[in-house]
Every structure is written in structure tokens, then in C-alpha cells.
Structure 1
Amino acid sequence: MTTNLPNELATKPHYPILDGLRGIAAIIVVTFHLAEPFSTSNLDKFVNHGYLAVDFFFLLSGFVIGYAYDDRWQKTTVATFFKRRIERLQPMVVLGMTLGAIGFYFTDSTLWPLIHTVPVWKMLLVMLIGYTILPVPLSLDIRGWQEMHPLNSVGWSLFFEYIANILYAVWIRKFSILALSILVGIAAIALAHLAITNGDVSGGWTLNVEQVWIGFTRTMFPFFAGLLLSRVAKPTRIKNAFLWCSLLVAIVLYMPRIGGAEQIWMNGIYDSVCIIIIFPLIVYLGASGVMHSQKENRICKFLGDISYPLYMVHYPVVYFYVAWISNNKGITIAQAWPGAFLILIGVVVLAYLELKWYDEPVRKWLRRKLA
């Protein structure tokens, strides 16, 4: 989900508004996960379309990867590209899995009654596999939620992010605009079919055929649509773009469910329109935006800086929150919201501290080692 450019590419014009939008979406993801325990299904979630933030992240990543690397392949190699991706992505992957492992046994609850029976060696094995971002088999589902990464659920999207990066670097970067447009068109049809058939695009975090297909379908269109957009879009100068784009992102992700159990196709159409039309429009507007003040620039930089750490470390904290909700049957969202709000503030602060004390120093060290 990260879109930061490597230092070597800093001479290119930067898109600070896109950084800010990534941070806004990451914060909404946290609110989505904090509200989720009070729902019984996808039909009655309070932050109903928060799952679409992942699709927005994929599109942002495709756009910025294309912008950063498309015209540099004569000067760089596939190996160098992957070194830079590993340097950028893996430190927070490792930290997120480690925090999940540290907190694992303390999240024992009525929701996960068998956590205390999991041997330490098995939990450590899941952690070590998680460090590689490869999904664990269902036989190592130590939490019972059928997650690819039981210690940090959000790792599934990084797995598919890597797949998209691999496809780009070894093959799709060579596509002409026509060939890429055809690929994106086919991917859009597949995405719309998935959304309308299932009622939404939510899914992709379980290692079975159905869920892996969902994850792959969710990745292919937005990532490579972002790549195509980076090649064909000619940004203009749009005033107040950060404000309007932030509002659009919030409206899309906080929108209540469209249609009910009898008309799931309606919500599927909503998801399709958001991912295929609205998200590319938001990214185009964000890339075209003009910063009006240093304050706005600092806000966007802060949001962009914390976005990836926030995404990668909030769920190990959310496990504690979900366990607390589970152990206090009957608690309502009205009673829980003060605690949820404190967690939201806490994980934002935690993300910033991890950025400064861990992520940036480790990336700097890796940059020297992998140079």
C-alpha cells in the first residue's frame, strides 16, 4: 500500500496530496476495523465500505510505481527494483508480525478459545513465515479466523502488493499503452463480475482458491489501472484538491451498504463504480492538486509518513480491542466508542514513533547493505 518514492527519484516532481490521501484512507481503515466487531455481516457494518481502502491503496501504488520507474528501466535492473521494494516494505512487515506475536497469547478470549493451547514453537513458526509475507497454510491457522497471517491480518494485502510488483517488473512494464489498456479492461470486467456476483469485493485474506482469486482480482485492476493512469494522465492545476479529494475518499468509504440481502448486486455495482471510475478520478485530481500553504504541505507529509506504519501496526492492537468486545457481551458501540477513539489516537502516535525510531533507521541501514 506504500507509494513513497525512493530517495534516488526525489528529483522528480512529488505528489504530496497523494501522500495525504493515503494517510486519510489508512485512518479510515482503522475506524473500519474498530467498528467491525459490532456487525454481524457485511450488510450491517458501521463503516461499511472501509474495505475499499485497500483497493484505493493498490491504485495509488500502481500510479506511483509507474511514475517512479517507467522511464528508468534503462538505468535500473529488476534486481535493483526488488531491493528497493524490500527496503521499503519489509521493515514494517517484520515489525507488524513481531508485535502480533508479542500480543498473541494476551488476546485469549471467548472469540478465540484455543489460543492458550497453541504451542510456542507453532506461533514462532507462523511469525517467521510472516516475516517473508508468504501466506501460512490453513494447518497453521493459530487464531481460527482462516487468515493468511494470523499474527497481523493486514499482511494479506502486502502479499498481493508484492505479486503486482513482480508482474510489473518482470513483464507488464514492457506493455505498450494499448496492451496495458486491454489488460486493464479485462481486469475491470473480472472485478465487476466479482463485485456484482458476491455483492462486494471484500475478501482475499484466506489461503484457499476462492479467496486467493478474490485477492488477485482486487489487485489486478487497481494496480495496473494506476500504472496506466500514470502513463496517460496529464495533470492540470486544481485548487483545493486535497480538501475535495479527502471528502470524496471519506464519502466513498463511509457510505452505508447499498441494497440489502435480496439485492446484493446493487452494492456490487457501487463497489465497481468506486474502484473503476471514482478512485482513478480521485488520484488524477490529487496528482493535479496545488498546495496552498506550508501548513497543508506539512499535513500531507505527516499523513503520508504515518500511513504505511499505521496500516501495518494497527491490527495487532485491534486484536486486543476485539478480544475486549468479545469478553464483554452486550457492549454497544455507544459504550465502546471512547475506548475506540483512544485506540485510534494511540495507534496514530505509535505509527509515528515507529516511523522515526524504527522504520526510517532500518530502511537507511538496509539501503547501505543492499546498495
Structure 2
Amino acid sequence: MTETRHYLALDGLRGVAALAVVSLHVTEYFRLPVQPGHAYLAVDFFFMLSGFVIAHAYDEKLRWGMGVLPFLAVRLIRLQPLVLLGVALGTGAYLLRARLGGIDMASVLQAACTNALLLPTPALLALRPWAFPVDTPLWSLAFEIWINVLYALLFRVLTRLTLGMGLVIGAGLVISMSLANGGLNEGFAWHGFYLGGARVLFPFVMGVMLSRYARGEARLGWAHAMFIPLLLVLCAPVAGGGWFDIAAVLLAFPALLLAASRASVSQRLDSLWRQLGLLSYPVYVIHYPFVVVISNLCKSSHAGVAASWLGAMVTILVVLVLSALAARFYDAPVRAWASRRLAPPLAAARAG
């Protein structure tokens, strides 16, 4: 079985996209006048990266007999430790607030248990209308793990033809959804949770197809600069009536991903991309509870504009520091332990 190659430039893009999401939530909750208007499209970019990386890492393994359950176990080992940490942080914030009254602790615990399983819940609908009220960004991880499972289940029939059909259907869903809603910023609310399914199909299938059929040898030095157009897309002001989002997902993101996947080795930038990649997942998963809590403290103290900017900067710094600590001292050791414990069952499942 061939050894898989690591795409450091893609790690860098993932980190930039995760920071854009944090910036969007920080500017929203602190009510700052400047916002990265299309940073929500980072989710669609994550889905495309997921399709590319999953196909690159697991096509050969599934072709050589890796089963669906071992595949799912490996994916859950990768995702679940930080999911549980994000849920724990969000639950802790809710429980502290529940002590002040107005929140039913049983509903908080019900939401926590459901969200920890990457399932949506209406448990806290009266307080927060999100499908994942304990840690809202988990909604996209739910769709990612579900489409990962579909990829493994349908792997034997994922030919160029069927993937092309999925791409056409997914593009139709993206276009119709974006035009109907004025953009793609949907899927996180309880009542519109199903719309996340319309967002995930095209980018994931596109990522798989780019990985299988358009991958090339690393040779493009300028491809390291793909973070610049990515930032321009994510930070563009909200406008276009849905057409901007359509162009970003159907045209810009595939081009950016393909170019970055062909980036040459860079002694100056590869270490930076590696660090951004390591931070991207913990930053995305654990930032939301801190943003909500610190912004609420600022609002309760009637902070002015300057204090709000300071609170926003402090929040981002706290998230970055705690994400780095979580990645090194929690996520990596837990995943290593889980991999060791599950190695014999996974080997037996593959043999069976």
C-alpha cells in the first residue's frame, strides 16, 4: 500500500479558514462594525478539503479491504476527543448560567449528550434556536462525519460517472439553496438543519474528484499564495443575492484547492502551514463557548466600542492559546491512547 503524502499548503488554507470563522463569530457577538462577511463559506471549503483528504488517505485502504466500521472508528478517533471537549466547555457555560435561573439543567444535559453524539437537538430551542446549542460549530462536523460514512458505504460504486452525477446534483442544490436564501449561510439552525445536506454534497464530491483525477506533482511555488484569494473570498462584504456564494463554491474553491495541492516544498512557509493545520481543528471546535461567554460579560458591563475591540482581541488570543494547549496536551494523547486500544479490534475487523 502506497504511503500517503501530506499537503502542507492545504493545512495552511484550513487554518486560515478556521481563523476566519472565529473572526466572524467574534465580530458578530461583540457587535463590531467590521466583519468578514462571507466567512461562513469556510464551512463549504472545509467540506471540499475533507473530500480531497479523505479520498487521498482512504481510497487505497478501502480498495484493499478496509471495512466501514474500521474506517468510522478511525474518523471518530480523529474527531471525537475535541468534540467532547467543545461540548464540555459549552455545557459548563450553560450550567453556570443555569445557577442564575432561567435555564433548565435537565435540558442542558440533554442537549449536551445529544450534541456529543454529533446529533442535533431542540432541547434548548427557547433559549438558542441552533441545532447544536451547546457548541454550535459542531453542526458542520455532523454533516462531515455522515458524508464520510456514505463515502465508505458507497465506495465500490463511486466511479467517475456516479461522482459526476453527484457533482451535478450537488451543484443544483447549491444554486437553488443560495438563490432561495440569498446565500449559503444556512444549516446551523434547528429549523433549517436539513439545509446543511444541500451544502455538503457538492464540495465533498468535488474534493474527492480533485483528489482522484486532478492531482499532480508538487511544483508550483506561487501556489503557497492561495491563502490570499481565499481570504478575499471569506472577507468580502455580503452582497450578490446568492450569486457570490455560488461562484465561490462552484468555481473559486475548486481552483484554490487544486492549486494549493500542487504547492512546492517551501522551507520558509511549510512550518507555518503545519502549525496552522494543527491549530485549525481545535480552534474551530472550542472557540464558540469562549466567544459567547466573554462577549456576554462585555455586554453586561456596558462596554464601549474600544472595550469591545479589546474584548474581541482578548477572546481571539485566549482561543489560540487554549487551542494550542488542547492540541498538544489533550487531543494528541487521547487519540494516541484510543488508537492503541482500538488497534487489535480494527485489525481483526480488517482481517474479517
Matches within 5 A, 1:81-92: 81-92=71-82
Once the 2 structures are TM-superposed, how far is the Cα of residue 120 of structure 1 from its aligned partner? 2.5
TM-score (norm 1): 0.86
1:291 and 1:257 mapped to 2: Cα distance?
Answer: 35
Letter in 2 for 1:355: A
User: Which residue is 2:139 aligned to?
Assistant: 156
User: Which residue is 2:246 aligned to?
Assistant: 272
Once the 2 structures are TM-superposed, how far is the Cα of residue 129 of structure 1 from its aligned partner? 1.7
1:30 and 1:252 mapped to 2: Cα distance?
Answer: 16
Once the 2 structures are TM-superposed, how far is the Cα of residue 280 of structure 1 from its aligned partner? 0.8
Once the 2 structures are TM-superposed, how far is the Cα of residue 329 of structure 1 from its aligned partner? 5.2
1:123-146 deviation per Cα after TM superposition (whole angstroms, max 9, x unaligned) = 22221222211111x2x1167221
User: Which residue is 1:262 aligned to?
Assistant: none
Picking from 26, 34, 50, the partner of 1:34 is 26
User: Which residue is 1:120 aligned to?
Assistant: 105
User: Which residue is 1:58 aligned to?
Assistant: 47
User: Which residue is 1:234 aligned to?
Assistant: 215
1:164-219 deviation per Cα after TM superposition (whole angstroms, max 9, x unaligned) = 112111115522112101111111011011112211100111233xx133110111
User: Which residue is 1:75 aligned to?
Assistant: 65
Matches within 5 A, 1:1-371: 11-37=3-29, 46-73=35-62, 74-106=64-96, 116-136=101-121, 138=122, 140-141=123-124, 144-172=127-155, 174-208=157-191, 211-236=192-217, 237-242=219-224, 244-258=225-239, 266-293=240-267, 295-328=268-301, 331-332=304-305, 334-371=306-343
1:20-75 deviation per Cα after TM superposition (whole angstroms, max 9, x unaligned) = 110111111111101113669xxx87211010011110000011001111122123
Mind listing any 5+ residue stretches in structure 1 that lack a counterpart? 1-7, 109-113, 259-265
Once the 2 structures are TM-superposed, how far is the Cα of residue 327 of structure 1 from its aligned partner? 2.5
CA contact (8 A) 1:115 1:142 kept: no
CA contact (8 A) 2:82 2:282 kept: yes
Letter in 1 for 2:165: I
Letter in 1 for 2:10: L
1:149 and 1:216 mapped to 2: Cα distance?
Answer: 15
Aligned residues: 341
1:150 and 1:193 mapped to 2: Cα distance?
Answer: 27
Once the 2 structures are TM-superposed, how far is the Cα of residue 77 of structure 1 from its aligned partner? 1.0
Letter in 1 for 2:258: Y
Indicate how the Cα distance of structure 1 residues 173 and 349 shifts in structure 2: closer, same or farther if over 3 A, else same: farther
1:82-109 deviation per Cα after TM superposition (whole angstroms, max 9, x unaligned) = 010010010011000001111224458x
Letter in 1 for 2:186: G
Mind listing any 5+ residue stretches in structure 2 that lack a counterpart? 344-352
Letter in 1 for 2:262: S
Once the 2 structures are TM-superposed, how far is the Cα of residue 321 of structure 1 from its aligned partner? 2.8
Partner of 2:77, secondary structure, is helix
**Identity percentage of aligned residues:** 33
